[in-house]
Structure 1
Amino acid sequence: MTTDDLYPFLTTRPARDDELLADVARSTREKVAQIGRLRSAVLDRHAAALEACAAGMAARFVRGGRLHAFGNGGSSTDALAMATLYRDPGPGRAPLPALALPADVASLTALANDVSFDVVFARPLRGTGRPADIAFGLSTSGGSENVLRGLDAAHEIGMLTVALAGGGGGALVEAFDSGRVDHLFVMPSDSVHRIQEAQTTVYQVLWEQVCERLDRS
């Protein structure tokens, strides 16, 4: 996907400003419609699986487990937002233990520099992860090697493993099929922007379902 695909009105600028504004408005409406359709498709397709995942996550929190979220680039900021959502849910919700592995910049850069970028999530999980914990990996492509290795390490420890991917799911599909990932949710889109927007919806829905289950327990 190119800039022309995302913002065609920038390369074919209308002669009048009002025409340009109309094109901007039209493009915005199209993008809002796209993410709306994608979110609905994902939630419809994964409704039962989301409930099962939330039940598994809630059970881990009851056992004293904590959430470890991780990803690269924009997915790293989603991991940070997710961990914050659990730790600081706002009025009426009890905080839950959660951390974002990309937030530990010292460990991440040390491992990337001294060992390999492929192990920046696996090493911390092997060091601090416990069987009652949850490993939550995010990858728009589904093929991030360090996310895959992190989930593999978590699986070996006995942690509950959850992953979000985009497109066709990439290598995470094989990891799910082989049982190394317990729960996988794929956003069927080729747009990184739409994938990340849909992934945000999925992890927020999971958080709400986890909280509701814990409230009832």
Structure 2
Amino acid sequence: MMRELIKERIGQVVALFQSIDEDTMASIESAAQMIIDCIRKDGAVYVLGNGGSAADSQHFVGEMVGRFLKERKPFRFVALTTNTSILTCIGNDYAFDKVFERQVEASVRPGDVLFAISTSGNSENIILALQKARDMGCITIGLAGLTGGRMAELCDVLIRVPSVLTPRIQECHIFIIHVLSELIEQYLYQNSSNEG
């Protein structure tokens, strides 16, 4: 019984990865190029999400501030999910919906990138942060599920995973984050060859 469930889930993952189409790949390319351009102009990339997407946000930032495959200088990536004093202060004094919007207003500058991760694309705190970033002249990139939800109208580029199942979307999200990490390193530091 357990083995059958394992096989079924592996089959779902394989089918999902095989269903990634040219449009999705083009969105990944566009997002990578926007991030590369931002970093080349000494901008910063701010990453956010809730729950599992918060963990993915921090994973992405870890790859970029530490390293992914190449030995190189760190990139200016910041996770807006990590400062518990800020998150609880804003959540308590204002509302949980505001926990990212206030941080965007405080730290993000025109030309920076706000990279939002949400399986549904409908989390209110993500929507408010994206709207604030757009109002401030920032580049907005989203990583979401099949429809993109409300994020779709607020992102300069939206990478959609062709699934409605949260676990499968999240598994594909981390794959996309790794692809983005590799593209960013490769195109910014093509002469770096040390791998770790």
Q: Supply the distance in 1 between the matched residues of 2:68 and 2:141 (Cα, whole angstroms).
A: 24
**Matched residue type, 2:163:** S
- 1:41 positional shift: 2.0
Q: Is the 8 A contact 1:64 1:132 kept in 2?
A: no
More helix by share: 1
Q: State yes or no: 1:120 paired with 2:94.
A: no
Pick from 145, 149, 159: which aligns with 2:124? 145
Residue segments in structure 2 that go unaligned for 5+ positions in a row? 192-196
Q: Partner residue of 2:27? A: 49
Residue of structure 1 equivalent to 2:194: none
One-letter amino acid matched to 2:57: A
Task: For 2:29, give the aligned amino acid.
Answer: E
What is the RMSD of the two structures over their aligned residues, measured on CA atoms?
1.7
C-alpha displacement of 1:91: 5.7
Structure 2 vs 1, CA of residues 112 and 54 (structure 1 numbering), >3 Å: closer, same or farther? same
Q: Is the 8 A contact 1:139 1:165 kept in 2?
A: yes
Residue from 45, 67, 80 that aligns with 1:89 = 67
- Answer yes or no: is 1:172 the counterpart of 2:151: yes
Q: Secondary structure at the match of 1:42?
A: coil
1:1-40 alignment, distance < 5 Å: 23-40=1-18
Q: List structure 1 segments (4+ residues) > 3 angstroms apart after TM superposition.
A: none
Contact 2:69 / 2:182 at 8 angstroms: preserved in 1? no
The one-letter amino acid of 1:51's match is E
Quick check: 2:133–2:140 contact (8 Å CA) kept in 1?
A: yes
1:71 aligns with 2:45: no
Show CA shifts across 1:52-93 (max 9, x none): 221111000011111111111111111111111111115633
Give the residue type in structure 2 aligned to 1:29: K
C-alpha contact (below 8 Å) 1:75/1:196 kept by paired residues? yes
SS at match of 1:103: coil
Distance 1:42 1:145 in 2: 27
The answer for unaligned runs of 5 or more in structure 1 is 1-22
Higher alpha-carbon Rg: 1
Of all paired residues, the percent bearing the same amino acid is: 30
Q: Give how far 1:159 is off.
A: 1.7
Aligned match of 1:11: none
TM-score by length of 1: 0.82
CA distance in 2, matches of 1:186, 1:92: 27
| Partner secondary structure for residue 64 of structure 1 | coil
TM-score in terms of structure 2 length: 0.90
Question: Offset of 1:150 from its aligned partner?
Answer: 0.8
Render the CA deviation track for 1:120-174: whole Å, top value 9, x for unaligned.
111111111012321111111110010011111111222221111114221122x
Asked if 1:200 corresponds to 2:179, the answer is no
Q: 2:113–2:141: 8 Å Cα contact kept in structure 1?
A: yes
**Inter-CA distance 35–213: structure 2 relative to 1 (3 Å threshold):** same
